[in-house]
Structure 1
Amino acid sequence: MALFLRAALFCCALLLAAVPAHAEGFLDAVEDMPLMEGLAETGDGGIVFDKPAGRIVRSVAEGDVAPPAVRAFYIETLPQLGWTRAAEYELIGELLLFRREGEQLEIQIVPVSQSHTEVRFSIEPQ
């Protein structure tokens, strides 16, 4: 019984550790793309096209969060999930680019008002 309890506690700890800090959950369209606390997906959870060359994903989330907080969250969190930032290609201030395993992720952070932000996620083959 004690061994079972230890194993169950270990499994729970692993599951809790898998969610990045301050993540609300994950995007419906991308199972390992964290959704920052305060953001909620819009529409039907995004669009996914699987092609022989790779997948194409589009998803949008919005919420009452500040653009700098969104930027900091994804810069801190995505490398933990294997994404490498490609900052040299970020040509505008509210755009983040990451690469992983032949895919490119673009996160566009759009301030809608002083307290409301829209975040657009786009994944395409490199």
Structure 2
Amino acid sequence: MMGSLRRTTDSGIRRIGRAGRAAALACALWLGATPALLPGANPALGADSFLKGFDDLPLPAGFSALDDPPPTVFDSAYGRLAEAYARGPGPAAKARAFYADTLPQLGWTALPGDPLGFQRGNERLRLDFTSQGGSLLIHFSLKPN
């Protein structure tokens, strides 16, 4: 009984969190927020889509999530484990700059001493960039602290 109550509560918190983010974005737009302050609003670094398996992780313009290997998401008693890949154009420096600018707006904090690591709540996100034949492969991994 307690386990199902906990899952319902956790699920409700996630829905409130997403709804809260949507409401905040709507309020910011209604109040006339500067487009540069909104995630993905910068045309040079704008987000085309979001990564599957992650609540609100945007992809840089021109990037798309890969289905091979498929995204992996696992909820454990200690938190979420997730892994996914995306491919797109351009140098790694441009994608790094996109995430350095965008992730803090979504509540992520850069980890000291790890320019590719971020933390939000009890989760850690790691980004790894690999150049492959003129395109860039980004590996996303999420794990509990």
Partner residue, 1:118: 137
**Is the 8 Å Cα contact of residues 38 and 65 (structure 1) preserved in structure 2?**
no
Alignment of 1:32-111 (within 5 A): 32-43=56-67, 46-90=71-115, 96-111=116-131
Alignment RMSD, CA only?
A: 2.2
Query: Identity, % of aligned pairs?
Result: 34
TM-aligned CA deviation for residue 64 of structure 1: 1.5
Alignment gaps of 5+ in structure 2: 1-25
Q: Which has the higher contact order (CA 8 A, sep 6+)?
A: 1
Structure 1 CA distance, aligned partners of 2:105 and 2:137? 23
Deviations 1:53-97 (A, max 9, x none): 00000000001221110010000100000000014135xxxxx10
Cα separation, 1, equivalents of 2:143 and 2:55: 15
TM-score (ref. length: structure 2): 0.68
Give the alignment's TM-score, normalised by structure 1: 0.77
Unpaired segments of 5 or more residues in structure 1?
A: 1-9, 91-95
> 1:31: Cα distance to partner?
2.4
Divergent runs of 4+, >2 A: 17-21
The number of residue pairs the alignment matches comes to 109
